[in-house]
Chains A and B, each alone.
Chain A
Amino acid sequence: MKPIVIIGAGQAGLALAAKLRALGCETPIKLIGAEPAPPYQRPPLSKKYMFGELDRERLYLRPETFYAENAIELITGTCVAAIEAAEKIVVLDDGTRIAASQIALCTGADPIRLPAAIGGDLAGVYTMRNLADADAMADEFRPGARVLIVGGGYIGLEAAAVAAAKGLQVTLVEMAPRILARVACAETATWFKALHQSHGVDIREGIGLSELTGKGGRVARARLSDGSDIEADFVVVGIGVRPGVALAEAAGLAIENGIRTDAFGAASAPGIWAAGDCASFPFQGCRIRLESVPNAIDQAEAVAAAMLGQGAPYVAKPWFWSDQFDVKLQIAGLNTGHDRVIVRQGDKLGTVSHWYFAGTRLLAVDAMNDPRAYMTAKRWIEAGQSPEPASLADPAIPLKSVPLAAPQTELAEAP
Chain B
Amino acid sequence: MITVTFEGADGSRITTKARPGTTLMEAARAASVPGILAECGGACSCSTCHVYVAPDFFDLLEPAGEMELDLLDFAWEPDPASSRLSCQIVLNEALEGLVARVPERQG
**A62 in complex: contacting residue of B32, B39, B41, CB < 8 Å:** B32
Is A372 a contact partner of B67 (Cβ separation < 8 A)?
A: no
Partner pick for A66 among B32, B37, B66, CB 8 A cutoff: B32
CA distance A43 to B45 in the complex (A): 12
Q: What distance in Å separates the Cβ of B67 from its nearest Cβ neighbour in chain A?
A: 6
Q: Is the CB of B67 within 8 A of A323?
A: no
Pair A375/B41 contact, Cβ less than 8 Å: no
B39→A58 contact, CB < 8 A = no
Q: How far is the CA of A41 from the CA of B43 in the complex (A)?
A: 11
Chain A nearest CB from B59 CB (Å) reads: 25
B70 touches A371 (CB 8 A): yes
CB of A294 within 8 Å of the partner chain: yes
* A84 to B: closest C-beta gap in Å: 33
Contacting residues, chain A, for B40 (C-beta < 8 A): 43, 293-294, 321
B67 touches A328 (CB 8 A): yes
**A interface footprint on B29-45 (CB within 8 Å = 1, 0 otherwise):** 11010100101110111
Scoring B residues 14 to 49 as 1 if CB is less than 8 Å from chain A, else 0, what string do you get? Answer: 000000001000100110101001011101111100
Q: Which residues of B contact A47 (CB under 8 A)?
A: 43
Report the nearest A residue to B37, measured CB to CB. Answer: A297
B28 to chain A, nearest CB (A): 12
Asked if B43 and A294 make an inter-chain contact with CB atoms under 8 angstroms apart, the answer reads: no
Contact B43 A61 (CB under 8 A): no
Contacts known (A328-B45, A375-B47); A293 close to B39, Cβ less than 8 A: yes
Q: Contact flags (1/0) for A45-64 with B, using CB distance below 8 Å? A: 00110000000001001110
The answer on a CB contact under 8 Å between B73 and A372 is: yes
- Chain A hits for B44, CB < 8 A: 328
Across the interface, do A293 and B29 meet the contact criterion of CB distance under 8 Å? no
Residues of chain B from 37 to 72 with CB closer than 8 A to chain A in the complex: 37, 39-41, 43-47, 66-67, 70-71
In angstroms, Cα B23 to Cα A48, docked, is 14
Interface contact B71-A375, CB-CB below 8 Å: yes
Whether A321 contacts B74 by the Cβ 8 Å rule is no
Q: Are B30 and A66 in contact (CB under 8 A)?
A: yes
Q: How far is the CA of A319 from the CA of B41 in the complex (A)?
A: 14
Distance to closest chain A CB from B103 (angstroms): 16
Inter-subunit contact A18/B73 (CB<8 Å): no
List, in ascending order, chain A residues with CB within 8 A of B67's CB: 328, 369, 371
Query: In the complex the two chains form, is B32's CB within 8 Å of A18's CB?
Result: yes
Within 8 Å of chain B (Cβ to Cβ): is A28?
Answer: no
A293 contacts across to B, CB distance below 8 A: 39-41
| Min distance, Cβ A82 to any Cβ of chain B, angstroms | 33
Tell me the complex Cα distance, A369–B44, Å. Answer: 11
The answer to the question of A44 belonging to the interface, with a C-beta cut-off of 8 Å to chain B, is: yes
Instruction: Check A22–B41 contact: CB distance below 8 A.
Output: no
List the A side residues contacting B22 at CB < 8 Å.
Answer: 58
Q: A372 and B30 in contact (CB under 8 A), knowing A43-B41, A293-B39, A328-B44?
A: no
Residues of B within 8 A of A372 (CB): 70, 73-74
A261 at the interface (CB under 8 A from B): no
Task: Give the CA-CA distance A22 to B70 in the complex, in Å.
Answer: 32
Q: Which residues of B contact A70 (CB under 8 A)?
A: 32
In the assembled complex, the CB of A184 is this many whole angstroms from the nearest CB of chain B, namely 17
Nearest CB of A to B42, in Å? 8
CB of A330 within 8 A of chain B?
Answer: yes
CB distance from B21 to the nearest CB of A (A): 9
- Nearest CB in chain A: distance from B86 CB, A: 14
Partner of A319, one of B26, B46, B73: B46
Q: A62 contacts which chain B residues (CB < 8 A)?
A: 29-30, 32
With beta carbons under 8 angstroms apart, the residue of B34, B41, B71 that contacts A371 is B71
Closest 7 CB pairs of A and B: A375-B74, A321-B45, A371-B70, A41-B41, A294-B39, A63-B30, A371-B71
Additional 19 contacts, C-beta under 8 A, given A18-B32, A66-B32, A375-B70: A22-B32, A22-B34, A43-B41, A43-B43, A48-B43, A58-B26, A62-B30, A293-B39, A293-B41, A294-B40, A297-B39, A321-B40, A321-B46, A323-B43, A328-B67, A348-B66, A375-B71, A375-B73, A376-B74
Pairs across A and B, CB under 8 Å, 19 listed: A43-B40, A44-B41, A44-B43, A48-B43, A58-B26, A61-B29, A62-B32, A293-B41, A294-B40, A294-B46, A297-B37, A297-B39, A321-B40, A321-B45, A328-B44, A348-B66, A369-B67, A371-B67, A375-B73
User: Which positions in B face A, CB cutoff 8 Å?
Assistant: 22, 26, 29-30, 32, 34, 37, 39-41, 43-47, 66-67, 70-71, 73-74
